[in-house]
Amino acid sequence: MSDQQEFPEDPSEYADPENVEHHSTGKGLALPGQNLPDKVYIIPIHNRPFFPAQVLPVIVNEEPWAETLDLVSKSDHHCLALFYMDTPQEDPRHFDTSALPLYGTLVKVHHASRENGKLQFVAQGLTRVRLKTWLKHHRPPYLVEVEYPHQPTEPTDEVKAYGMALINAIKELLPLNPLYSEELKNYLNRFSPNDPSPLTDFAAALTSATGSELQEVLDCVPMLKRMEKVLPMLRKEVEVARLQKEISAEVNRKIGEHQREFFLKEQLKVIQQELGLTKDDRSADIEQFEQRLEGKVLPAQAQKRIDEEMNKLSILETGSPEYAVTRNYLDWATAVPWGVYGEDKLDLKHARKVLDKHHAGLDDIKDRILEFLAVGAYKGEISGSIVLLVGPPGVGKTSVGKSIAESLGRPFYRFSLGGMRDEAEIKGHRRTYIGAQPGKLVHALKDVEVMNPVIMLDEIDKMGQSYQGDPASALLETLDPEQNVEFLDHYLDLRLDLSKVLFICTANTLDSIPGPLLDRMEVIRLSGYITEEKIAIAKRHLWPKQLEKAGVSKGSLAISDSALKALIDGYAREAGVRQLEKQLGKLVRKAVVKLIDDPKAVIKLGPKDLEASLGHPVFRNEQVLSGTGVITGLAWTSMGGATLPIEATRIHTLNRGFKLTGQLGDVMKESAEIAYSYVSSNLKSFGGDPKFFDEAFVHLHVPEGATPKDGPSAGVTMASALLSLARNQPPKKGVAMTGELTLTGHVLPIGGVREKVIAARRQKIFELILPEPNRGSFEELPDYLKEGITVHFAKRFADVAKVLF
C-alpha cells in the first residue's frame, strides 16, 4: 500500500510542527463540493460523531496525532476526515480498521495550536465521506481513499415539510435551552434554511442522543429517511428540556421562598433587638431558667451552685461546647421541684374504696396498707418509707402500688430494675462524660413535679451486677430514710431530700435481694389466689377489660360462673391471674369471629364451650398418689404453692443402701439423709422391723425429675414415706404435710403457710399436718382459707406418725 504524492510520508520534509497554526491561517472557508480531495488523512474521535453542519474545537493527543496534523497543514486543502469510534483503542499505533464505521465527516482544519501534550484545532464540517480504501494503516498518520455520496439538490415537497417541522422543533428548543441560541445563529449565518441536508445534520447535532444513535444518522444518506430518524430525536430533546425547565423553576421557587423567609426573619430579629422587644438566645435561656425557679424553695447550697452556673452561662459564647454543657446542666437543675410538695389525701374511707375497686381478695394486704396510711393520717403526714411487695407473677403487685398512689392522691412513677447493671442509672453520670444524664430518681422528680411522689421500683430481685458497678448497693443510700435526706446525684452534684418519697418495691422472691437492702424494707407478702377469688377477679375486672379491649358489648357476649370455674381449674391454675386473663382474651377473640359473621348474635359461654375454643384442658384433676411409701408434701415456689408427692420403695434385699432421685438441691439431699437416719434409728419405736433398713436397698424419688427442687420443708414428708415403706402400711388418705425434721425427731417451722394451704385446697386436700411453731401463721389466715380444713400441729415426728398410721 503506497502513500500518494500530495501526502509525503516523511514528516521531516515539512516545516516545524510548532508552526501548524501559521500554515492553517489565511485560507478562505471551504464550501461543500469545492476542491474535495479523494485521499485524506483520518483521526478517530470518541465522544460523539462530528456532523457536516458543525463548527467546533477538537482536542487530540499530541502523541500520535501531531504528525497527521503536520501533514494536513502542508496540504493545499487543509482537510482531514473525522470518524467516530465507540470505544477508544488501547494503542492507536495498532489500529483495528474494522472498528471504524463506513461514514465520517470531512472537516477543514483552522487555528491549530499545541499545549501541554494536546493539540487543538477548530474543525469546520464540510460533507459526509465514505471510506473506500485504506492506503496506509500500519501506524499513524493513517491515509484513506474516500468518496462523497451524491445527494439530490432539489428537495421534494415531503422533504420541505419535514424541514419546516425540524425548524419549528428547533424554535421550541431555543427558549427552553439558551445554550443552543448561539449555535443556531452561527448556523443560520452560514446556511440557508431551505438546504435540508445541513439542517437535518445540525438538528441531530443539537440532541443529546447516544453516539451510536447519532452515527446511524450520519450513515443515513437518503434525505427523507434521515429526516424521519432525526425528527423524533429532536422532539424528545424538546420534551426533556421542557421537563428540566419545569423542575428548575420549581426548585428556584422553593429556594426563593426559603431565602425570602430567612431574610425577613433575620431583619425582624435585628429590628426587635434594636427596639428592645426581644433578647438573644443566651438572655432567653437565662430568663427561662429564672422563671422555672419562681415559687420553688431551694436549699442554700443548690441556690449558690445554680447562680454560679447562670453567671458562667452569661459570659460563654453560645456556639461553644461548654455553653451546651452548662445549659443542659441548668435545664436539669431548674427542672427539679425544689421544695414543692403535693398534699396527701389522708382519708381512710376513700383509701379503702380505691383498694376495693381495683382488687378482689387480698384482705390482709389491704388491712396492712390501711394501717400504714392510718399512721400517716394520725401524724398528719406520711413520711417516706419503703414497702416491698413480694409474691408470684400476676398477683397484682404493680397495680397495688398504683392503688396506694391513687388512694393518697400522689403522682405515681414506675421504673423497672430488671436487668439493670449500671449504678449510674440510679445515681447519674458525672458531668465530665459525653451524653451524661442524671439518674432515674431525678428523671422521676422532674416528671411528677413534686418532691413526695410514689415511686415504684419494679423487679428489685432481678438486678444484675457488672464491672460498671452494683446498682443494689447504690439503692441503699437511695432507699434508707436515714440517708436519703441528703441523696447525692452524681450529675447534679446537689443534695436532694428523698425522705418524703414513698418507695414501693416489687419482687417475686427474696433470695436474690442483698441482706442490707432487704433489712431497710417493710415486707408485705402477696400470696396466690384461690379459685373463689379468681372467679371474683375475672367477673369484676378481667372479663369487662377484655370486652372493652375488643369493643364487644356486654349484651352480645357473656360467660357463666361455672365456665369461669372450669376455665380456672383446667387452664389457669397458676398463683396469679395473668394466664387467666390471656385465656379470657382468647375466648373473646374466638367469639368476635362469630360476631362478624352474625352481628346480632348473643353468645353465652358455658363449661362445654371451653374445649372448642381453648383446646384440651392443660390441667387434669390430678390423682393424689397413694399407697405404701407414697406421701403428699406441700412446697413453696416463686410461682406460688404446689403439692409435691414423695415416693419410697425397696429395690432389693442383697445389701443396705439408699438412693435419691428427682433433681434435688443440697438442702433437700440433706433432709433426705436426716430422714433416713432418723427413721432407721427409731424404727422399733414406730412399730416397724428394726432390721428392715439393714437388709434393704431403698430408693427415694420426688416426681417431676426435670424440675429443680430445693428448700427446708420436706424432711417430715420424706421420713413419713420411709416409715410407710418400712411398716409396709399405706398412710391415711387425703392428708398433706410440710415441715423440717431434726435427727432427734423435732419438727421445725417452715415458710409460705398461706401458699401451701392454697395449694392443698386447689388439690381438694382438706387435712394437713403443719409444724407446731407455724400455728400462729395458720391462725392469721383469712377465714375463707381455713374453712373446712382440719390441721394437725406436730411438735415431734411421733405426732405425724399418729395421724398417718
| pLDDT tens per residue, range 382-434 | 776 788 888 888 888 888 888 888 888 889 999 888 877 777 888 888 888 88
Say whether pLDDT at 340 is over 80: yes
713 catalytic? Reply is yes
> Which pLDDT value is given to residue 2?
37
Annotated binding residue at 326? no
The pLDDT tens digits for 122-135 are 999 999 999 999 88
Average pLDDT over residues 344-370: 79
Catalytic residue among 403, 713, 720, 777: 713
Q: Which residues contact 434 (CB under 8 A, 6 or more apart)?
A: none
CATH number at residue 374: 3.40.50.300
Which of 727, 729, 631, 628 has its CA nearest to residue 679? 727
> Which pLDDT value is given to residue 617?
82
Residue-by-residue DSSP string for 305-361: HHHHHHHHHHHS-TTSHHHHHHHHHHHHHHHS-TT--PPP---HHHHHHHHHHH-SS
CATH number at residue 596: 1.10.8.60
Are residues 794 and 804 in contact, defined by beta-carbon separation less than 8 angstroms?
A: no
One-letter amino acid for residue 196 of the chain: P
Report the C-alpha gap between 611 and 114 in whole angstroms. Answer: 97
The residue range of the domain holding 308 is 281-335
Say whether pLDDT at 624 is over 80: no
Band of pLDDT at residue 19, cut at 50, 70 and 90: very low
Say whether pLDDT at 362 is over 80: no
Annotated binding residue at 198? no
| Top mean-pLDDT range of 100-109, 150-159, 187-196, 793-802 | 100-109
Claim to verify: residue 786 and residue 674 sit in the same structural domain: yes
Band of pLDDT at residue 472, cut at 50, 70 and 90: confident
Claim to verify: residue 606 and residue 642 sit in the same structural domain: no
Claim to verify: residue 679 and residue 799 sit in the same structural domain: yes
Claim to verify: residue 599 and residue 502 sit in the same structural domain: no
Half-sphere exposure of 575 (CA within 13 A, CB side): 30
User: Structurally, how many domains does the chain consist of?
Assistant: 5
> Which pLDDT value is given to residue 615?
83
Average pLDDT over residues 27-45: 72
Burial state string for 661-677 with b = 16 or more CB within 10 A and e = fewer than 16: ebebeebbeebbebbbe
Claim to verify: residue 721 and residue 781 sit in the same structural domain: yes
In a domain, 306, yes or no: yes
> Which pLDDT value is given to residue 80?
94
Catalytic residue among 407, 720, 756, 777: 756
Which of 489, 501, 503, 500 has its CA nearest to residue 335? 489
Task: State residue 187 phi and psi, 5-degree precision.
Answer: -60, -45
Residue 118 DSSP SS3? strand
Say whether pLDDT at 196 is over 50: yes
534 catalytic? Reply is no
> Which pLDDT value is given to residue 26?
37
Residue 674 DSSP SS3? helix
Residue-by-residue DSSP string for 15-27: PPGGGHHHHHTTP
In a domain, 756, yes or no: yes
Stretch among 279-283, 418-422, 628-632 having the lowest mean pLDDT:
279-283
Claim to verify: residue 678 and residue 745 sit in the same structural domain: yes
- Gyration radius from the chain CA atoms: 50
Q: Which residue in this structure is represented by grid cell 480531495?
A: 37
In a domain, 208, yes or no: no
In a domain, 480, yes or no: yes
Band of pLDDT at residue 40, cut at 50, 70 and 90: very high
Report the C-alpha gap between 584 and 558 in whole angstroms. Answer: 11
Cis status, amide bond into 141, omega within 30 of 0? yes
CATH number at residue 738: 3.30.230.10
Annotated binding residue at 531? no
| Cβ atoms < 10 Å from Cβ of 622 | 11
Report the C-alpha gap between 291 and 283 in whole angstroms. Answer: 12
Say whether pLDDT at 335 is over 80: yes
Strands 487-488 and 454-458 come out as: unpaired
Claim to verify: residue 544 and residue 676 sit in the same structural domain: no
Say whether pLDDT at 153 is over 90: no
In a domain, 169, yes or no: no
Band of pLDDT at residue 192, cut at 50, 70 and 90: low
In a domain, 210, yes or no: no
Furthest C-alpha separation in the chain: 143
CATH number at residue 113: 2.30.130.40
> Which pLDDT value is given to residue 124?
92
Q: Which residue in this structure is represented by grid cell 387434669?
A: 620
Claim to verify: residue 305 and residue 413 sit in the same structural domain: no
Which of 525, 505, 527 has its CA nearest to residue 455? 505
Structure-model confidence comparison of residues 277 and 375, the more confident one: 375
Report the C-alpha gap between 14 and 141 in whole angstroms. Answer: 14
The pLDDT tens digits for 507-517 are 988 888 888 88
Which among 147, 176, 195 is the end of a domain?
147
Annotated binding residue at 395? yes
Residue 414 DSSP SS3? strand
The pLDDT tens digits for 43-61 are 999 889 999 888 899 999 8
Say whether pLDDT at 121 is over 90: yes
Which of 434, 520, 433, 508 has its CA nearest to residue 477? 520
Annotated binding residue at 394? yes
| Entry field: residues in the chain | 805
In a domain, 343, yes or no: no
The pLDDT tens digits for 741-800 are 998 889 998 888 888 888 888 778 889 999 999 898 888 887 878 888 889 999 998 888
> Which pLDDT value is given to residue 731?
87
Strands (E), 534-616: 557-559, 603-605
> Which pLDDT value is given to residue 106?
94
Cell of 141: 498518520
The pLDDT tens digits for 225-260 are 999 999 999 999 889 989 988 998 899 888 888 898
Claim to verify: residue 436 and residue 294 sit in the same structural domain: no
Report the C-alpha gap between 157 and 224 in whole angstroms. Answer: 11
Average pLDDT of the chain, as a whole number: 82
Residue % of the chain over a pLDDT of 70: 90
Band of pLDDT at residue 152, cut at 50, 70 and 90: low
> Which pLDDT value is given to residue 398?
85
Report the C-alpha gap between 312 and 309 in whole angstroms. Answer: 5
Cα angle for residues 195, 198, 200 (degrees, 5° grid): 100
> Which pLDDT value is given to residue 27?
40
Report the C-alpha gap between 523 and 372 in whole angstroms. Answer: 12
Residue-by-residue DSSP string for 283-304: HHHHHHHHHHHTT----HHHHH
In a domain, 105, yes or no: yes
3-state secondary structure 34-90: CCCCCEEEEEEECCCCCCCCCEEEEEEEHHHHHHHHHHHHHCCCCEEEEEECCCCCC
> Which pLDDT value is given to residue 199?
85
Claim to verify: residue 319 and residue 371 sit in the same structural domain: no
> Which pLDDT value is given to residue 84?
92
Say whether pLDDT at 710 is over 60: yes
Give kind and range of the element (H or E) at residue 646.
strand 640-652
Task: State residue 14 phi and psi, 5-degree precision.
Answer: -100, 170
Average pLDDT over residues 710-738: 87
Claim to verify: residue 596 and residue 634 sit in the same structural domain: no
One-letter amino acid for residue 686 of the chain: F
Question: How far does the chain reach from its first CA to its final CA, in angstroms?
Answer: 130
Cell of 61: 493527543
Are residues 725 and 719 in contact, defined by beta-carbon separation less than 8 angstroms?
A: no
Claim to verify: residue 406 and residue 446 sit in the same structural domain: yes
Say whether pLDDT at 576 is over 70: yes
The pLDDT tens digits for 653-705 are 878 888 888 888 888 888 899 999 998 888 888 877 888 888 888 998 988 76
Average pLDDT over residues 492-506: 87
Structure-model confidence comparison of residues 291 and 2, the more confident one: 291
> Which pLDDT value is given to residue 706?
58
Are residues 431 and 325 in contact, defined by beta-carbon separation less than 8 angstroms?
A: yes
Annotated binding residue at 33? no
